């Protein structure tokens, strides 16, 4: 049964108000709390508690929540608050399947189209991951991990593909258990798989890049998400 919460302690202490609109701030912070699982699936949270913790007034918070409702992250429970939408096994499997094929396409097209700027961005992301492995900070490392995947999609130079990849990556974080970077051996294996993709893109070998992306994602699913991926 869902529990009602005032959302105390949901948002990271380091997060603070930026210069963009209050609605955009609220949207970003609430969505981040959902995709990094600081909000519990199926739990109900009061709008008042969220407003108090963010230090943002009710109107922009409500506008942000309405947008998140349209995107399938939350829905309004009349008289109770906001419920975090759970993802069932079939939806999770569908997301995994879509990610597998969209990212293979990203890698293939990046192998044809990546510029020197794209390659520098991807290389910088990989170096950032390597430099931060010692922290074992799951949230930071997954943020950097997905930054690399977004930059791979950017290197494909197809705006519709990039939008699809970004949406899939955000929803992927809603159920990813985020344990791989807790283990230094597994973390280095993941980094090596990322580098294989990068090296193939760097030499503009589209087929090799596609194969490296497929191998990386299938390995990732088997490492931490086999209970979803192996469902028939």
- Report pLDDT for 37: 86
- Report pLDDT for 53: 84
- Stretch 90-97: mean pLDDT: 95
Per-residue pLDDT reduced to its tens digit, 206-232: 999 999 999 999 999 999 898 888 754
Q: Is the pLDDT of residue 1 over 70?
A: no
- Report pLDDT for 103: 98
Strand order in the sheet with 81-84: 4-5, 44-45, 81-84, 74-77
Residues in a beta bridge with 76 = 82
Residue 231 CB contacts under 8 Å (≥ 6 apart), including other chains: 89, 90, 93
- Count CB-CB contacts under 10 A for residue 124: 14
- Report pLDDT for 54: 86
- Report pLDDT for 38: 87
- Report pLDDT for 16: 44
Choice between 160 and 19, residue whose per-residue pLDDT is larger: 160
Q: Is the pLDDT of residue 22 over 60?
A: yes
Q: Is the pLDDT of residue 174 over 80?
A: yes
| Helix 138-154 × helix 116-132 angle, to 10° | 170
What the block records as the tokens of 156 is 């494909």
Interatomic CA distance for residues 182 and 137, integer angstroms: 8
- Stretch 181-209: mean pLDDT: 96
- Report pLDDT for 12: 56
Note the pTM of the prediction, 2 decimals. 0.83
Interatomic CA distance for residues 150 and 51, integer angstroms: 31
Interatomic CA distance for residues 62 and 22, integer angstroms: 11
Interatomic CA distance for residues 115 and 202, integer angstroms: 9
Per-residue pLDDT reduced to its tens digit, 2-11: 444 455 555 5
What the block records as the tokens of 202 is 């760097």
């Amino acid at each position: 049964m869902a529990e009602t919460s005032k959302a105390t302690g949901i948002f990271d202490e380091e997060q603070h108000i930026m210069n963009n609109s209050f609605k955009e701030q609220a949207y970003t912070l609430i969505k981040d709390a959902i995709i990094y699982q600081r909000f519990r699936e199926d739990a109900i949270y009061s709008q008042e508690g969220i407003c108090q913790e963010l230090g943002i007034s009710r109107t922009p918070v409500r506008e942000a929540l309405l947008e998140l409702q349209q995107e399938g992250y939350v829905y309004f429970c009349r008289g109770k608050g906001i419920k975090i939408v759970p993802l069932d096994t079939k939806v999770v499997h569908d997301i995994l399947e879509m990610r597998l094929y969209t990212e293979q396409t990203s890698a293939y097209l990046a192998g044809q189209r990546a510029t020197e700027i794209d390659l520098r961005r991807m290389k910088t992301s990989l170096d950032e991951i390597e430099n931060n492995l010692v922290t074992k900070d799951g949230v930071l490392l997954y943020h950097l991990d997905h930054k690399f995947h977004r930059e791979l999609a950017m290197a494909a130079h197809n705006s519709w593909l990039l939008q699809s990849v970004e949406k899939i990556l955000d929803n992927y974080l809603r159920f990813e258990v985020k344990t791989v970077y807790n283990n230094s051996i597994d973390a280095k294996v993941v980094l090596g798989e990322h580098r294989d993709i990068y090296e193939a893109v760097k030499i503009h070998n589209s087929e090799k890049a596609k194969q490296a992306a497929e191998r990386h994602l299938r390995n990732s699913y088997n490492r931490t998400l086999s209970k979803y991926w192996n469902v028939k």
